Structure 1
Amino acid sequence: MLVQFLSKTSKQLKKHCALLSNEEKQSLYNEVLEEVKNTPRNSQGNIDKLKKLSKVAVAIEETTDSKLLEQFNDGHPLREVNIAYVSGEATNYLFSLGDSSELYDLKENREKAIYQAIKSNDRELVKHLLMILTSDEIEIEFFKELETLLSGVYEELKENLSQDTKNYLEKNISLKRFVCSNVDVLIAKPVDMQAVVNLFIVQSGVNYKIDELLLIKIAEGLEEGELLSQINQMIETVREHERFVELEYKVRRLKSELASGKSKYSDEVIKFSIEEREREMGEIGDRSNQVISEREKLLSRLSNRASRRH
């Protein structure tokens, strides 16, 4: 019976499911979920099958009182799905959220996948999707498209986003906007030292990812010496600061999961993860003051160097 549904469109599926009795919907839903559980995720053909099964499940959910499907919630195979797989020569990502069986395909519909990930307020998911999209060498036009997409979704949804998600998106958008605006300087070979130094001087220091990018470019154009050592030290300090901030976020997230009691992991596992991250935070230490101090010293030195050149 199930096979006949896999070739139907979402509209056709909803129309058909609306005509079924509650018992028939429950029976079909159970059949779909069992088939999902029995479908390996090791080939493109099986991935395509999972997406078709997802469409059937969604059609049932959208035409059925949710209370009639509550019995299937435990161990639901189409909720919070995360599948990374190779599509062609690139990595693709298939995921679902916790309140629906809909599977989002990152490469098939980038806009919808990004929108739903941001809307879900799952900062880790958004970060993961953007890492996949920018993992290979990309054209600057794609970078611009991504910045435009993120900016538009952020503006639409920002009132309902958590502060952690907003902070992450704001920094990611500003980095992409900076790269798009200064691409000629950033890709120049050999490095245009004066232009890169000038960019660093006029930066506010709010986004340390931009600082790190510029410092790496400056270091490429320097020979061994005290200034290069100072810049390399600053790069390391920035990275440690960013790592500390990331760990702080993860500890907040884990503690929130623990307090809610809704995590799929046991309390013991969550507590261990918190302890491990807090231990690493202790090893790194809060570098916020250090990074500001080192940046000011380096900024002064680079400004004086630029003045002497003029």
Structure 2
Amino acid sequence: MSSGVSSKLRKLGITLSFIGPICILYICFFVVPLGGSVMYSFTDWDGLQSTFNWVGFRNYADMLLHSGDFRDSFLFTLKFSVLNIVLVNVFGVLLALLVDSKLKSKYALRVIFFSPNVISLIVVGFLWKFFFSSVLYEMGTKLGWNFLTYSFLGNPDRILYPIAGVSLWSSVGLAMVIYLAGLQGIPGELKEAMHVDGAGSWTRFWKMTLPLLMPAIISNVFLTTTNSFKVFDLILALTGGGPANSSQSLAINIYREAFTANSYGSGTARSIVFCLFIVIVMLVQFRVMRSKEVSA
């Protein structure tokens, strides 16, 4: 009996030695900061002073009922996320089909399409800002093409589109790689059987390729959703949230509320609502898309 108990204790000790450090790090760097953020969201702490007052749900009420900048940032982030998710996944599938073909240059194309993904988004933002504001303008002036002198980053009504274009350029490579792995995992027997049955290219794609790509689609949609909603550095470098805060994402809005306006309590309240919204969106996505998954 004692040997059995000691054996179980030894196994428990070995298990804890593996998972214990991870659990400690998780608690220290996730659970404790999250709990602190929830607590501070009910205060008027400015992030600097050692004292603060409890204000209850005032931060949440002001954010949802009286904060126009939060609503504008939320709407912009939502529109950007929907557009970015659609563009990245559609072009990711198209590029994956291209580099999975019999082209002699397909390996070079894989490198070219994936290369922007390894560049920091801050660098990407500054590069494309220089391209939009200087390179295109000089080209349009010297060539007499007036449409190139248009202020691509200066129109609040159309600022969404250049940002989405830059985001597509920088992130479509990773989506392409994931879709390419999904394409190469489709059994060759299925492709041959569809071809023998006389199915055309579109029929094969719609009836076979797309359903079997569903695991890759789920992964890419999750990645693009979280990255789109959390977009910060790209917009900060590209437009700074302008013009007139028309491209201010929720992440930038939260950052400015907490660290620029020195309203840490209000900023953490916004971050909590933002986090809950992302969790709800991800759960809905997972449930909807998981039901459409098929196996070969």
Q: What TM-score does the superposition give when structure 2 sets the normalisation length?
A: 0.24
The structure carrying a bigger strand percent of its residues is 1
The structure carrying a bigger helix percent of its residues is 2
Q: What TM-score does the superposition give when structure 1 sets the normalisation length?
A: 0.23
